[in-house]
Structure 1
Amino acid sequence: MTRRPAAAQTALGPMMIAAAEQYEPPGRRLIDDGLAIGLLPVSLRAAVRACRWPAVRRWMIAASDKRAPGIWGAVLCRKRYADDQATEAFQAGITQVVVLGAGLDTRACRLTPSGGRAYELDLPANVEDKRQRLQTLSGAVPEHVRLIGVDFEIDDLGGVLAEHGFQTGRPVVFVWEAVTQYLTEEGVRATLAFLSQAAAGSRLLFTYVLRDFLDGGGHGATALYEEFVVKRRLWRFGLAPGEVSGLLASYGWVEREQVGAAEYQARYLEPAGRELPVSDLERFVYAEKR
């Protein structure tokens, strides 16, 4: 498969967590994603299948959290939140979804309503890799999904989407999960400038990493800080929670909700009877277009 740059290779970890979650009993499972394991490399599938044994799942969670406390729970909960919010948007009548930086995520394949259209934008190497994995898994990319290679730092996202049939005059739900930290501020603002053109009633779901973590670590995640911020310099953009509303307003969006570790515990983990730590390094935002 196509060799992928460093930032693109980070797609495997979250999907491995999603795939392992499928071995939790239905009443405790946070997300339902039967496609996840099939998109993983063969070398990782055996490790995931071993998670059918609870002791192995517990060991993998502990190993993950040793490197970055609460990261396993944070990935599961943010995916659940995005699934819930995207589903709510579809139930409200929105039939277009644009996934910005889709990686190997399966949301567009799983949740897009009948008659809807999904557009997945990612680095060209990621797109080609995913196209090959979907073809191997299912024989073809689903008809309602368009896989589009872009560079968020330089490409005209509106022009690229228009070439693939995106209808700018209709509301859309944008999902921008675990991407902004990999961009420069200029790249984030360029994407927001594109999003400012969305039709009224559109919805935006995006995550961001806390600025104070990028500025000096902390939050009990020294290893994560050293790897992603200091050594590999992959994480470059962050926000403080109080900055979000003003940033969005300048591009025509209204912040409706921010969620993080505390909300995830109350909404998802406690009702499922799960005792799972959740990192507070990242927050999810739901906004609507004026």
Structure 2
Amino acid sequence: MEHGQPSRTALATAYARAYHQMADEPRLFTDPLAVRILGVEESVIAERNAAPSDAPADNADWSRRRRLFLAARARFAEETVAAAVAAGTRQVVIVGAGLDTFAYRNPFPEVRVFEVDHPDTQAWKRWRLEDSEIPIPESVTFVPVDFETRTLAEGLAAAGFDREKSAVFVWLGVIMYLTREAILSTLEYIAGQAHPSQVVFDYISPGRTESDRAEMAARAERVRAVGEPWLSYFTPEEMAEVLRTTGFAEVRDATALDILADLTGRARISKPGNQPRMVHATN
């Protein structure tokens, strides 16, 4: 991302989440603040969703499939949070929060939400919250972290996060933009949280076939061209080893289509291929 500017990928995700509220039925994920926080007309949201920066020019259905995955991963994460809260967890950390609105419609007033993001993106979000007249609950703590100069551990410690209590970490749409070293150190930090603690995140695979790898290379080039290149890919086998060595005892790793099928109770809605993957891991 450019210094002084919000993340373009965070903005693209926010537009997709908002358009899901407008266009998709049945809706996989309901977010009554998704449109409001953007502060633009619905026609602008529709236009932006029609041509996201990493969309292939020859795939009219790509935007819809991407949008459904983003909705599904948000719902999957929030259902994980709800289950953890029911079991006694009272801390939620959203890493790379972007324009995520969970903290402002949080149904658990006893739960403290730590929003971690780059200072520029976070300043932009706070302006959007004020401009949209969305109240900031007392349960929200903003944690500005530029990962080039400060670690997640340092940022959370300064914000009053309690390492001796369990937590849920939500880490969506982030790790592909980080180096493997940064990913491993963050996972080690999360695994070192008091038991039981959990993390939900997504990642991308380089692909197993020549066709998959070519498609992924083309998408990577489109993302690189807007200034936010992908730095890390993992096969499912590599990710399983990473999670084992960083300290996670229970792991679920599923494809986007698996998650969608679980949420809808229906057959797969798209063709197989090199899909994004979702992980839910517990220390």
Shift of 1:228: 2.0
Matches within 5 A, 1:26-45: 28-42=26-40, 45=42
Are the counterparts in 2 of residues 219 and 280 from structure 1 also a CA contact under 8 Å?
no
Moved over 6 A (4+): none
Number of equivalent positions: 275
Task: Determine the C-alpha separation between the residues in 1 that align with 2:235 and 2:268.
Answer: 29
Check 1:92–1:20 CA distance in 2 against 1; reply closer, same or farther (3 A cut). Answer: same
Contact 2:152 2:186 in 1 (8 A): yes
In the other structure, the counterpart of 2:5 is 4
Distance in 2 between residues matched to 1:219 and 1:251, nearest whole Å: 31
Change in Cα spacing, 1:199 to 1:112, as seen in structure 2 (3 Å) is farther
Partner AA of 1:134 in structure 2: L
Q: Which amino acid aligns with 2:44?
A: A
2 CA distance for matches of 1:283 and 1:66?
A: 23
Structure 2 CA distance for partners of 1:205 and 1:3, relative to 1, 3 Å: same
Match of 1:198, SS state, is: coil
Matched, 1:18 2:17: yes
Q: Distance in 2 between matches of 1:254 and 1:197?
A: 12
SS of the residue 2:105 aligns to: helix
C-alpha contact 1:74 1:278 (8 A) present in aligned 2: no
Q: Following the alignment from structure 1 to structure 2, what is the Cα–Cα distance between the partners of residues 185 and 112? A: 35
Select 1:246's aligned residue among 210, 222, 241. 241
**Within 2, Cα distance between the matches of 1:268 and 1:276?**
14
What one-letter code is carried by the residue in structure 1 that aligns with 2:244? A
For the structure 1 residues 198 and 112, does the alpha-carbon distance in structure 2 shift closer, same or farther, using more than 3 Å as the test? farther
Would you say 1:165 and 2:160 are equivalent positions? yes
**Corresponding position of 2:256:** 261
Q: Secondary structure at the match of 2:234?
A: coil
Structure 1 residue 160: Cα displacement: 1.9
Unaligned stretches of 5+ in structure 2? none
Deviations 1:100-158 (A, max 9, x none): 11111112323351211000111100110111111222354221111111023441322
CA deviations on 1:139-195 (whole Å, 9 max, x unpaired) are: 542211111110234413223212222111100000010100011112212212322
Output one character per residue of 1:59-85: Cα deviation in whole Å (capped at 9) or x when no partner.
Answer: 779x95756733222222222211221
Opposite residue 109 of structure 2, the aligned amino acid is S
1:145 to 113, 118, 140: 140
Aligned equivalent of 1:132: 127
Match of 1:46 among 32, 43, 46: 43
Match of 2:109 in 1: 114
SS in 1 for 2:203: strand
Unpaired segments of 5 or more residues in structure 1? 52-56
Q: TM-score, normalised by structure 2?
A: 0.83
Aligned mates of 1:156, 1:227 — CA distance in 2: 29
Q: In the aligned structure 1, how far is the partner of 2:273 from the partner of 2:107?
A: 29
Aligned equivalents of 1:204 and 1:9: distance in 2?
A: 24
Alpha carbons 2:122, 2:144 under 8 Å: kept: yes
2:167/2:193 contact within 8 Å kept? yes
RMSD across aligned C-alpha pairs, in angstroms? 3.2
- The 1:83–1:230 alpha-carbon spacing in structure 2 relative to 1, beyond 3 Å, is same
**Alignment partner, residue 279 of structure 2:** 285
1:54 is matched with which residue? none
- Kept after mapping to 2: 8 A contact 1:153/1:187: no
SS at match of 1:121: strand
